[in-house]
Structure 1
Amino acid sequence: MAQGWADQTAAEITGAPTEQQIEVRQRLALLWQQRLTDLVEEQPELGDELRMWATGLRQQLPEAQRDWVNTFIASGNATQYNAPGGSIAVTIHPGERFAS
């Protein structure tokens, strides 16, 4: 099953137009993150093995892509919505106040 998912992922990335491949990779990375999270929840004994596998994969990436840092700063009365690596839709109705 996992091999089929991996093949499908590779085909979807390589089949996407060049200008969309980064977006496709990001979307599929989130999907894989959820799949792996589900797997570890169902079979916790695989956690260490998956961490070692992920570390090995990370080492194959170019150095600039191995670590990611997101910094979000809001000040004053600002309201901030963040979705690193994902997307978020916010609807604000004029005059509406949010509780803190």
Structure 2
Amino acid sequence: MLEELILAGGTTVVGAMATDSWMAARDGVARLFRGRGEDRQAAIEAQLDNNAALVVRAADAERARRSLLPVWLLELESLLDQHPDVAGELRELVSEIQRRLPETQRAWVQNNVAKDGGQVFAVQGGNVIVHQTPPGQEGGSAEAR
């Protein structure tokens, strides 16, 4: 359940970059880090500002957002590992920001097609690791995270 929240949080943060919803998202994320042990709020605010500037300057904003997603997944995962009580606040923030986002930033769509005996291994916002064995041998697996 927390993995889904982390993914929703990360995609919402990067999805809001360079949109009219950005300041609300930025302030909300900074608020999550406020008063949580070490003083990370100033560093998080600087990181948010720098990341948003990268998206604004990028020739392909969506590619920039995809590149920044793993950073925010790690930041949010670390925050929730250290402060699990933040989960409710993060859920509320994600809902609030998603309501404010432009329609194109609310969901990511992925279409996968396998034909003629082909295989598709797909995941959004994570990794797919495939270990295949030659036909007739046991032990091949596909793992999605």
With structure 2 as the length reference, what TM-score do the two structures score? Answer: 0.50
Q: Which amino acid aligns with 1:38?
A: S
Alignment-derived partner of residue 44 in structure 1 = 84
Alignment-derived partner of residue 99 in structure 2 = 59
Q: Deviations over 1:64-86 (max 9, x none)?
A: 43234546565885432224246
SS in 2 for 1:56: helix
Percent identity (aligned): 26
SS in 1 for 2:119: coil
1:21 aligns with 2:79: no
Contact between 1:27 and 1:86, CA under 8 Å: does it hold in 2?
Answer: no
Q: Which runs of 5+ in 1 are unaligned?
A: none
CA RMSD of aligned residues (A): 3.3
Bigger relative contact order (CA 8 A; separation at least 6) = 2
Distance of 1:13 and 1:64 partners within structure 2: 15
Q: Deviations over 1:25-69 (max 9, x none)?
A: 111123212211221111101111111111111111123432345
With structure 1 as the length reference, what TM-score do the two structures score? Answer: 0.68
Aligned residues: 96
Q: Equivalent of 1:11, from 53, 61, 64?
A: 53
Q: Which moved more, 1:67-76 or 1:52-61?
A: 67-76
1:2 aligns with 2:44: yes
Contact between 1:40 and 1:47, CA under 8 Å: does it hold in 2?
Answer: yes
